[in-house]
Amino acid sequence: MRPAFPLPRPRRVLSFRWNAAAILCFLPALLTAQEVDFSGFGATGVRMYDRNPLTEFNQEFYYEGKFQADIELSKDIEGQLDFRGKSDDRAVILREFSVKFEYMNYARIKVGNIKKPYSIEGLADRDEYIPVFDSYIHRRNEELGYAGRNVGLMVYHNFNPEKRPDMPWSYAVGVFKNQSYVTSAYARGTYHFDSWYVSLGYAVLSRSHDDAITTHGVSADAGFRSKRFETGIELFAAQDPEEGIRRRLLDLSDRVLTAGLRSLTALRFDVDGKVVEMIEPFVLIALYAPDADATEYHTLEIMPGVNVFVDDDVRLRLTADGLLTKDRFSDEYGTHGSVFAAEVFVKF
């Protein structure tokens, strides 16, 4: 939960110094690189939550931004720096540093603080993702350790129909380590045919020390993508390491399986007006059960929205994230945590 008051000034000063040092460390690489491409985005808007205003914020005005540098160090080596900042933290952080090595046609090596290849949503960049919010399932997968970023080494290939149509596969295999004592490994493959695709993924998390536990997760998805329409469905099943440890202490089975389903559909209509170029309505529907043995307790997510493009790189984004949750403490659905956002988004 976000703190009720802003962080004290000393924390902000330390954050600035750390990031200034990081920039200075990589400045020589930027200056001596053969080519540097800069990209990023900025966003600002308002979010309105279904919360108790006496104990939590029920609205917030926010801003955030990304500045990324892709550095061509040689013909086969490329570095990446990804800086992020947002009003919640009021600080800029180095979210990713990675190095890519390409010595073979169908394999690249990537090392750094990188994304875990567990799902479509987890691999999508913020400026490519259609809704304002991540789905509830993705947020839960990140809390459990299956999604998000960690320091790791990954071998991968992304399908490119223009350059390499003879290789209709995308794949990623990687090993990751977080800042404590959790090691994870991932394998994911996608087959592309025309505008269709189908994927399978596997993850294993191993926690050592006092609360040692090994858990597994699988994902599967299929969908269709074109210029005017896209739709897809994802299925997830993963063991919950935190709940598994808790139940083990109660002399119960530590095999606690979570399950989820997520579907996203979007349409795109050209307007060709002086102000609006394209309208993109969408809807995301998801179902998440924290315990597959008690599916009567679950969260149903309905997330409709629309993106209004006034330019290819400028859009107004409206998203309503409706959460209907039924747990052991209530016989009726609760809507706590639902949120509506209106956002102006610009990428470069």
Inside any domain, residue 117: yes
Inside any domain, residue 13: no
Q: What average pLDDT does the structure give for the chain?
A: 88
Inside any domain, residue 21: no
Inside any domain, residue 126: yes
Reported as a single tens digit per residue, the pLDDT across 299-313 is 999 999 999 999 999
Res. 263: pLDDT tops 80: yes
* pLDDT bracket for residue 1 (50, 70, 90): very low
Query: What CATH code is carried by the domain that includes residue 315?
Result: 2.40.160.10
Inside any domain, residue 319: yes
* pLDDT bracket for residue 25 (50, 70, 90): low
Inside any domain, residue 58: yes
Inside any domain, residue 28: no
Res. 129: pLDDT tops 50: yes
- Domain around 154: 35-347
Query: In terms of Cα–Cα distance, which of 210, 217, 204 is closest to 245?
Result: 210
Inside any domain, residue 275: yes
Res. 31: pLDDT tops 70: no
Reported as a single tens digit per residue, the pLDDT across 57-90 is 889 999 999 999 999 999 899 999 999 999 988 8
What's the number of domains the chain is made of? 1
